[in-house]
Structure 1
């Protein structure tokens, strides 16, 4: 089976990291912290923006949004790599679990949590 695009991307990130001898800093605790920090930086772009300001923010900060999303993905892929978690499999499994928790006939158009449907 050929490697997935996600796997190939992870290997590029690992090669980048390893060429710089950064693996020593990439334990699960610190990668999880890095992921949370990058997610917060993404969230900060939207902080205090009104609903009306959001479209303008997205338009004006598109490059910054792209870079922050890339950072979130980067840390996610490295953390999954270090924990030996196949993200393709994990996402497929989670999608199946969510489909069972949120059947279309009960959840369509609703923001209610599964235990409130």
Structure 2
């Protein structure tokens, strides 16, 4: 059982290596596969109402879980190949968003913040 992204990345490396798939795992190919999997995830929600999307039927939930796993696996593999620490990158992005989206100005609003200036 994997417990963190580094362990998952190593398991993915081993999985791809055992099948000689590294030759196909270029960043371009992984991004394209990732986009396809995101599309499959989107398709599961496409015709649901907002309320239905919050309370998935068991069969739909199982498909969504599987698609989320596919998206996660491709994302972790891509980050590993590009030597990007996903946790570090996500925390840096959250730090940036905290600076951009002051709670007093954006609470309850979906509007986009202007880019940060240096």
Question: Partner residue of 2:10?
Answer: 11
What's the CA shift for 1:55?
Answer: 4.4
Partner in structure 1 of residue 68 of structure 2: 69
Mapped partners of 1:73, 1:37: distance in 2: 12
- Please state if 1:89 is matched with 2:88: yes
Q: Report the 3-state secondary structure (helix = DSSP H, G, I; strand = E; otherwise coil) of the residue aligned with 1:80.
A: helix
Runs of 4+ aligned structure 1 residues displaced above 2 Å come to 48-56
**Hey, what does 2:35 align to over in structure 1?**
36
Instruction: Give the superposition deviation at 1:96.
Output: 0.6
Distance 1:15 1:114 in 2: 42
Gaps of 5+ in 2: none
More helix by share: 1
Tell me the equivalent position of 2:98: 99
Any gaps of 5 or more consecutive residues in structure 1? Answer: none
RMSD: 1.5
| TM-score under structure 1 length normalisation | 0.87
